[in-house]
Amino acid sequence: MRLMRFGPSIIFLRGDVERIREGISRLFKVREMRTDEAIRKSNEFETIVLVTSPEEKRTVAPDWGFLIREGAKVVLAEIMNSSLPVERVEIESTIILIRVPEKVNEALNLLAETLGGEVMNQKDALNLGEACDTVISITRKKLSSPIGPEDVEGAVLVKRDFLSVYRELLVDMPMILFRLLPEWNEITIKLYDANRRYEENIERLLLVIEDLDLGFVVGEGWDWDYPRPFMRVPVYRLKLLTWEKPERVKFLLKGIEYHGYKRLCDIDVFVGDKKINWIQLGKFSSKFELAQKAREELEKELSEEVRRKLNEIEEKLLEELED
């Protein structure tokens, strides 16, 4: 589970606007887009280049910019080694994104108190911050996906360099999160495969948990289950510390238990010693309808890369079931 990550690096180029824009487009083979769209589509450590006239002194983003899927060091080296008519380069504050599932205002105030920062919206924080400052942006959205301005619910401007802030957060973030959410759910997930394709099914299970940021895996290993008297079967057991409701986790995992009407594995979710039954998850006519609805939601929530990996693994599992 990821609690925080960096945002994109934002670079301002001051100079002959039209010639620099043409040069950036040619040099990096990218097109200009709305700045909000560039932020929305950006990932960690990628670079957004904003071009303005040399008279502009403020680090206020213009409406249009370039998203370059390279780190800032690579981008700056390419620019400085080119013949672009850049008169001055300025750097925006470093952005650190933090995900909290609820109590956003409490999180903002706690971070401001802990780090000596000021709470404001992200736009103001970026406009007021300078190169040596740090902007901490709060979102409820999973950090494995791109985060747009509309996904940020508040920010803290810290007048300190990002390395000192980041090091402090690495130590304090678990404590901050537990102060905000003292009541975590500890659940046990048990996976059984009658066809003994455990490696593939465990990979599918972990792909979903990690991509959706469902929680912290605090223990895993092999165990035995007893579905009937005198019948013992091996199961893979995983303990998860999560802020999600156990029923929500059960519902999502139902989406990888079946493929259509074919069962790929059995996945049970326990709170303590009590197993969550599928009929507790809503009004569904059958397990197949439940699995279909869960899979539809997974297809919407999972990243494209994880959806592709799941489909590849499942195609192999289905081929073996048909043999």
Return d(Cα 78, Cα 66) in angstroms, integer: 15
| Mean pLDDT in order along the chain per 10 residues (323 residues) | 87 95 96 94 93 86 94 94 93 92 90 94 91 93 86 95 91 82 87 92 95 88 81 90 92 92 92 91 90 94 92 90 70
* Predicted TM-score (pTM) of this structure: 0.80
The answer to whether 139 and 97 have CB atoms below 8 angstroms apart is yes
CA distances from 289 to 7, 87, 156, 295 (A): 39, 62, 44, 10
The gap from C-alpha 316 to its chain's centroid, in whole angstroms, comes to 28
C-alpha neighbours within 13 Å on the C-beta side of residue 100: 27
CATH classification of 4-180 is 3.40.50, yes or no? no
Region for 15 from its dihedrals, namely left if φ exceeds 0, alpha if ψ lies in -120 to 50, beta otherwise: left
Tell me whether domains 4-180 and 185-322 share a fold. no
Each domain of the chain, given as residue ranges in start order, spans 4-180, 185-322
Instruction: Pick 185-322's CATH classification: 3.30.70, 2.60.120, 3.10.50, 2.40.30.
Output: 3.30.70
Return d(Cα 293, Cα 81) in angstroms, integer: 53
pLDDT in tens, 55-113: 887 778 899 999 999 999 999 999 999 989 999 999 999 999 999 888 899 999 999 99
DSSP for 34-90, written as a single string: EHHHHHHH--TT-EEEEEE-TT--S----SEEEEESS-HHHHHHHHHTS---EEEEE
